[in-house]
């Protein structure tokens, strides 16, 4: 019984080795899976966002040539180069936040001193009233200066946002104008565009 077990184990080991070798040989000799086909380069029309259909059975090569010709024609006719970025509109700052409210503390001190002197004169010590008024005026002037600086910064941010919005609108308008010219040329060459 012992020799039968050994022979069975031996036979089983040889069988596993042979099967493993056959599988390994089959895996190494199998052809590698084909690489995914390269994506076709994007056409000029698709990069512009224009869909072009060859209505007169033009070949892809002819369509590529026609798109290049129409791109050049539309560029020269409209004066717009869709590949060149639109220059952003320069935002003109309304006021420099660093200088906003300049002199507010001094004016506040003068106003406060005058009011304090008047009140102090009524109370019997104009000098002391003027000093208290001037100190109060400086504090109030500082608050006015900070408010003016914050308002100037907010106005500058709004001006920048408006300039960015104008730039986006101009870019969209230029793209639409160029695409109209490109589409008109392609339609003249026998294509349908959308």
Tell me whether residue 31 is in a domain.
no
Residue 164's domain comprises: 41-194
In this structure, is residue 105 part of a structural domain? yes
Residue that has been written with the tokens 């099967």 in this structure: 19
C-alpha torsion angle, residues 43, 44, 48, 52 (rounded to 10): -70
56 within a domain of the structure (yes/no): yes
What's the total number of domains in the chain? 1
pLDDT (tens digit, 9 = 90+) per residue, 85-118?
777 766 566 666 666 666 666 776 667 656 666 6
Q: What is the pLDDT of residue 60?
A: 95
Q: Has residue 66 been placed in a domain?
A: yes
Confidence (pTM) = 0.52
Tokens of 48: 């512009």
Which range has the worst mean pLDDT, 12-21, 85-94, 157-166?
A: 12-21
Please check the confidence at residue 42 and state whether its pLDDT lies above 70.
Answer: yes
Do the domain assignments include residue 155? yes
64 or 121: which leads in pLDDT: 64
Q: 17 lies in a domain?
A: no
140 pLDDT exceeds 80?
no
């Amino acid at each position: 019984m012992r020799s039968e077990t050994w022979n069975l184990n031996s036979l089983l080991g040889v069988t596993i080795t042979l099967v493993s070798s056959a599988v390994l040989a089959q895996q190494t000799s199998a052809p590698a899976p084909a690489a995914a086909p390269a994506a076709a380069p994007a056409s000029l029309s698709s990069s512009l966002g224009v869909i072009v259909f060859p209505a007169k059975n033009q070949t892809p090569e002819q369509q590529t040539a026609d798109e290049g010709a129409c791109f050049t024609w539309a560029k020269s006719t409209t004066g717009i180069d869709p590949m060149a970025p639109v220059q952003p509109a320069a935002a003109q700052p309304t006021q420099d936040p660093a200088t906003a409210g300049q002199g507010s503390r001094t004016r506040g001190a003068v106003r406060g001193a005058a009011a304090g002197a008047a009140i102090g004169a009524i109370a019997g010590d104009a000098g002391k009233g003027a000093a208290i008024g001037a100190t109060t005026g400086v504090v109030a002037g500082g608050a006015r200066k900070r408010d003016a600086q914050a308002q100037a910064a907010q106005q500058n941010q709004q001006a920048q946002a408006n300039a960015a919005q104008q730039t986006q609108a101009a870019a969209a308008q230029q793209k639409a104008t160029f695409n109209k010219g490109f589409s008109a040329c392609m339609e003249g060459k026998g294509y349908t565009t959308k």
